[in-house]
Amino acid sequence: MEIFLKITLYIHIAAGFMALVTAPVAMAVQKGGNAHRKWGKVFFYGMTIVTITAIIIASFKYIPFLLMLSIFSYYSIIKGYRALYLKERYRGQKPALIDWLSAGLTGIFSLGLLIWGILILISGFSFGWVAVVFGTIGVTNVYGDIRKFRNPPKAKMSWWFEHLNGFVGGYIATVTAFSATNLSFLPPLVAWLFPTVIIIPIMVYWNRKYRKQFGIERKAVRS
């Protein structure tokens, strides 16, 4: 069993490194082009392997935090990927069963992450703030997505923002994992949370930039 877990860990690390270096390439090349799709797929499959191996390790070694965080992180990837198949939502296209299931499962695990973080804080460990922050983000995102499932967006390019935000959210998870495991000179809370603090404003800037470029209002994208 130890050999199996060690091999799984090596695969996890290799896939994580692949996702870490390929995502910037996918973001840098022309959007919608062959190179963008190619590197985007590499990132997606890399993150899929990362998630599967993390779930295996967390299950066998009983690491609840890793299990909940893995589900929370992968939801962004799933959402970004599924956006490519939900381009007609503004015309009334309905989300598929996988969209409802992934949102529901992530909502449960995100709520668990939030509660776990609160319990850790009550116990006197400041690391609980990491779980509280990610759990809150997860619950908020799932709530917003379920509202969108029930109320189709009005803007034709809404899928584009879901794709962008989903994959950037997944990349935040990748950078966070690298930071938390390699930047030991940083305080733990900083190592875990600074990628979120830095990258989210960049994502907000991109959203504003492309809303202006596409000539659509914020309400149209969110509704």
Q: What is the DSSP letter of 183?
A: -
Taking the CB of residue 70, how many other CB atoms lie within 10 A of it?
23
Query: pLDDT per residue over 142-180, tens digit each?
Result: 999 999 999 888 888 889 899 989 999 999 999 999 899
Rg (CA), the chain: 18
Distances (CA, A) of 72 to 56, 79, 116, 123: 15, 11, 14, 23
Residue 150's SS3 state is helix
Whether the predicted model's global pTM rises above the 0.75 cut: yes
What's the pLDDT band for 222 if we cut at 50, 70, 90? low
Give pLDDT, residue 31.
Answer: 77
Give the HSE-up count for residue 119: Cα atoms under 13 Å, Cβ half-sphere: 7
Lookup: tokens for 122:
């009550």
Lookup: tokens for 218:
């914020």
What's the pLDDT band for 136 if we cut at 50, 70, 90? very high
Please state the rounded mean pLDDT for residues 185-195. 90
Single-letter amino acid, residue 99: D
Query: pLDDT per residue over 22-71, tens digit each?
Result: 998 988 888 778 888 899 999 999 999 999 999 999 999 999 999 999 99
Give pLDDT, residue 209.
Answer: 84
What's the pLDDT band for 98 if we cut at 50, 70, 90? very high
